[in-house]
Amino acid sequence: MIGRSQPLHGFTLIELVVTVAIVALLSTVAFPLAEVVVKRGKEQELRLALREIRTALDAYSQAVEEGRVSHSVELSAYPESLNVLVEGVPDASSPGRESRIHFLRRIPRDPLFPDSSRPDEETWGKRSYASSHDAPAEGDDVYDVYSLAPGTGLNGIPYSRW
């Protein structure tokens, strides 16, 4: 049976080139989308961290107003630093002031802050009660926090304005 040949197995060069071209085209679409997904995830972490710290600051202020945290009338109802929220303060309503009120378990880190060697508290900008919203400045207390990360979010607003 000389007229019959064995069937060939495998792919032709054209089929391989077309396949590689399709994979390359798909990867050029997938990589930018993956970058956006990663950035969106970090921005979500930033929103959650800001909400957690701001909720703790408000809880501290509420505790001062309720008389559970003693402070001077001349000072604002906000803590001197973020570490106070973690270390806790004596509960003025407990007998003997033996128990402490803790407002945070730990200070969340700004996920977009570029320097990973800095402590968590230093990744946030702090605004005192006496400073304006347009020009936040540190002072005797911590009224609000903002991101020190450079850049702009996917929503077009700089991270420092979140």
DSSP-derived secondary structure for the chain: --S--PPP-S--HHHHHHHHHHHHHHHHHHHHHHHHHHHHHHHHHHHHHHHHHHHHHHHHHHHHHTTSS---TTS-SS-SSTHHHHH-EE-TTSGGG-SEE-S-SSPPP-TT-S-TTS-GGGGEEEE-TTS-SSS----SS--EEEE---SB-TTSSBGGG-
Please provide the average confidence, as pLDDT, over all residues in the chain: 90
Tens of pLDDT along 30-75?
777 888 999 999 999 999 999 999 999 999 999 999 989 988 778 8
User: Which pLDDT does position 8 carry in this prediction?
Assistant: 67
User: Which pLDDT does position 71 carry in this prediction?
Assistant: 82
Q: In the structure encoding, which two tokens stand for residue 148, read together?
A: 């020190």
The distance from CA 102 to its chain's CA centroid, rounded to whole angstroms, is 21
- Rounded CA-CA distance 130/107 in Å is 23
Q: In the structure encoding, which two tokens stand for residue 58, read together?
A: 């408000």
User: Which pLDDT does position 53 carry in this prediction?
Assistant: 98
Q: In the structure encoding, which two tokens stand for residue 145, read together?
A: 């926090």
Judged against a pLDDT cut of 60, whether residue 1 lies above it is answered with no
- Rounded CA-CA distance 136/36 in Å is 30
Provide the pLDDT confidence category of residue 2 given band limits of 50, 70 and 90.
low
Judged against a pLDDT cut of 70, whether residue 9 lies above it is answered with yes
